[in-house]
Amino acid sequence: MVIAGGSAAGMFAALILARGGHEVVLVERDDMEPAPDVEAAAAAAFRPGAPQIVHPHIVMAKCRELLRAHLPDVYEDLLAAGVAVAGLWTQMQPTLSDKTARSGDEGLALLMTRRSTIDWVLRQAVAAQNGVTVRSGTRVTGLTARPGTPPHVTGVRTGMGTIAADLVVDATGCRTAIDAWLEEIGARPTSTRRAECGIAYYSRNYRFRPGGNAPGLATTRIVAGLAEFNAGVWGADNGRMQMAVAPLSMDHRFRSVRYPAVFTAVLRTVPTYASWLDALEPITDVFTMGGLHNSLRQLVICGEPVATGLHGLGDSVCTTNPTLGRGLSFALWESLALRDILATWGENWIAQAMAMDAFVEENIAPFCEEQAEVDGARMAMLRHTIFGAAKPDAAIARADRVTYAEVRTASQFDPTAFRALWRIHGMVQKPLEAYTDPDVAACTRAALKEIAERPTMAQPTREQLEAVLAL
């Protein structure tokens, strides 16, 4: 089989499928040679086709647990490369009423790392994996196929010639050209559900200053939705930290944040982040990224595959707001599902396609759809606050469930709501299952009644913010 794209999704798939007995050709347009060390990998990480690589990343619970169960050698190599394990207790806020450990907490732990370190470890694993042939510096330009209804894919076209395959996996990412490829073989295009995340990303990497007094753990993750922008600080590997400013993409006041002095000044208007800046020194420039969407691509439409012998993985299928770092979990989970589907259905091409579509609809779509709803509410509030748009309607209270906003607020005080939030974030439980859980709903409502005043992070006034944006 051919896997188009040497992203984390492509490398996860190559490892999982090769270990499942398949011969894999991994085709990547960029150089796949592993860098000599972690820091060299970080220095060379930026790729125009994958701008997310240099921005803050985190390995959420689902991905960590799948790594431990199915790629234990890769998991150990990540730890050896300096990736830090962050137990659930590291994410507990001082306001939480009960910090006692509970059964299941181990399965909600995170990994703190730069994305470049993940890719460095994966590249080494792929290079050593029997059954995987890597063709780097080679761009996939299209598909080959047998005519039919639907057409059956028989390989890929590249700038270096045609590669025949019994199966093609598209792991080329959110900018995939799959619809153009399908048109060229006479197939119908895929169907994509899409909703804006509504934010632009500005981020920078740091290390601790010698003798600096850090205000918290090196595995800290503090992401805040402030009145006029989002901001965050994340732990990473090898004593590195990541910080980000994420304003509404249409808020042009923030264009100056691409300049290091302005980026720093904006974060310093928030005391929580200013205290971290006092302990850190930058080791990169400011990276930028825009055009972010929550999207879900379907290769089966009205019960019919657009083509057989073709599957998608990772960002080619689903993208969500990067703040929660779900992309790696999606990619690994989908790779494992594809392995099992191939083992079950063999060359029953229609059944393969239908089974993969069913897996995505059942397990991936709920997180994408919920994130689109959460982002839509956040965008509406920012537009109201910044531009004077109509204030969004308050969510209608329902007796049978609570909302993400309610659980998130209650999680600062109640241990049951706290764990529910991290099960959702970590993709350990589907959002609706958590919101309709009677215990979660009861504890969330009780906590909200006891909160006399909803806590907010200290932040700048509009005048203070606009002053630093004008520097």
* Model pLDDT for residues 134-152, shown as the tens digit of each residue: 999 999 999 999 999 999 9
Q: Are residues 12 and 136 in the same domain?
A: yes
- Quick one: average pLDDT of 167-192? 97
pLDDT, residue 395, reads 79
State how far the Cα of 182 lies from the Cα of 177, in Å rounded to an integer: 9
Please determine, for residue 390, whether its predicted confidence score (pLDDT) is greater than 80.
Answer: yes
pLDDT, residue 271, reads 97
pLDDT, residue 47, reads 76
Domain that holds residue 240: 201-291
Please determine, for residue 344, whether its predicted confidence score (pLDDT) is greater than 90.
Answer: yes
pLDDT, residue 212, reads 81
Q: Are residues 283 and 303 in the same domain?
A: no
Render pLDDT for 320-338 as a digit per residue (tens, 0 to 9): 999 889 999 999 999 999 9
Percent of the chain with pLDDT over 70: 100
Q: Are residues 233 and 323 in the same domain?
A: no
pLDDT, residue 185, reads 98
CATH code at position 269: 3.30.9
Render pLDDT for 391-409 as a digit per residue (tens, 0 to 9): 998 878 888 999 999 999 9
Decide if 310 contacts 239 (C-beta within 8 A): no
What is the number of domains present in the chain?
Answer: 2
pLDDT, residue 396, reads 81
Q: Are residues 322 and 175 in the same domain?
A: yes
pLDDT, residue 333, reads 98
Task: Tell me the sheet residues that pair with 172.
Answer: none
Render pLDDT for 221-267 as a digit per residue (tens, 0 to 9): 999 999 999 999 999 999 999 999 999 999 999 999 999 999 999 99
The residue to which tokens 């500005």 are assigned: 202
Closest by CA to 250, choosing from 382, 368, 56, is 382
Q: Which tokens in the block code for residue 80?
A: 């050896």
Q: Are residues 16 and 121 in the same domain?
A: yes
Helix 438-450 with 415-425: angle, nearest 10 deg: 120
Residues 6+ apart with CB under 8 A from 16: 70, 71, 332, 335, 336, 338, 339
pTM reported for the whole predicted model: 0.96
State how far the Cα of 440 lies from the Cα of 417, in Å rounded to an integer: 6
Percent of the chain with pLDDT over 90: 91
Residues 6+ apart with CB under 8 A from 357: 298, 299, 300, 305
Among residues 291, 325, 351, the one where a domain terminates is 291
**Cis ω for the linkage preceding 455 (within 30 of 0):** no
Among residues 330, 346, 368, the one where a domain terminates is 368
What does the mean pLDDT of the chain come to?
Answer: 95
Range with the lowest mean pLDDT among 101-105, 201-205, 290-294, 384-388?
290-294
Q: Are residues 29 and 153 in the same domain?
A: yes
- Quick one: average pLDDT of 159-185? 96
The 3-state DSSP class for residue 230 equals: strand
Decide if 10 contacts 171 (C-beta within 8 A): yes
Residue type, 260: P
